[in-house]
Amino acid sequence: MLEQIKKTADFLNDAVIEKPTIGIILGSGLGGLVNKIEKEKVIPYKEIPGFPVSTVEGHQGALIFGKIGEVSVMAMQGRFHYYEGYSMQQVVFPVRVMKMMGIDQLIVSNASGGLNPDFKIGDLMIIEDHINMFGDNPLLGKNFEELGPRFPDMSEPYNRKLIEKALSIASQESIDVKKGVYVGTCGPTFETPAEYKMFRVLGGDTVGMSTVPEIIAARHAGMVCFGISIITDSGVPGEIVEISHEEVQAVAAKAEPLMTKIIARLTAEFPKL
């Protein structure tokens, strides 16, 4: 596994002139940030040696290299989800490649269902913490010391300074943002009413099907992380209605420009940590 991570990192380092310093993972349908990147190079996943091969019809993704302001980034347009059948190691492979390329900062976005009754559909939530309900973990099995320690600390999964910075950007831009705990679950079913209630009781503010594996792998590797979520539907008792992937994507697309504004400024003005 290590050999492949190194090979892919070498391939990408050779392919670009500007070395990226920040990695960005954009959730499905949340690729608008790509338009804010002054692009140097776009590499489709299928042309990257070692990248997971998509088995899902119509699934396409690309790595975008370029600049936001003065900052060089490597953005993943589309991520690998556990529910698609990828192993946890495959889901987090790109994060490990980022680390091997010398990237120490990770920004992720996603869509999620609201559990906190104070949240409305279309709200943005800065992720302060998460709960792993995947029933799996990318670090199970042999530990590679080159990647990180056997028992990684998770006391600050999402960097507090980045949360503060994002909150201040949101306030300057008059964007209303919430803060809270993201529950990550494997999907692909949305939750039953009883499951939404359970996740709320457990301490969650939103629930979604991604992010947690990538953040675990990133923290294992000592990367500093930031995450933001768009609430696309409600899991609050009394508000639960039938939902579909299409509706989730439609709400995500509507709220996306505000999220993109926050991520673009956070990247360009990345605080010294």
Contacts of 155 (CB under 8 A, 6+ apart): none
- 203: tokens are 């301490």
Q: Which stretch binds ligand HPA (CB under 6 A): 56-64, 106-114, 117-125, 140-148?
A: 106-114
Is-contact 90 8, C-beta < 8 A? no
Is-contact 132 214, C-beta < 8 A? no
CB of residue 203 to ligand HPA, shortest distance in Å: 16
Angle at 159 between CA 89 and CA 83, to 5 degrees: 30
Pattern 47-86, ligand HPA, x by CB under 6 A:
----------------------------------------
Closest CB to ligand HPA among residues 166, 248: 248
Selection from 62, 88, 54 nearest residue 220 by Cα: 88
Q: Note whether 111 binds ligand HPA by CB under 6 A.
A: yes
Q: Note whether 213 binds ligand HPA by CB under 6 A.
A: no
What residues are paired with 44 via a beta bridge? 62
Closest CB to ligand HPA among residues 128, 195: 195
CB of residue 219 to ligand HPA, shortest distance in Å: 22
Where on the chain is the footprint of ligand HPA (CB under 6 A)?
Answer: 111-113, 190-191, 207-209, 232-233, 235, 248
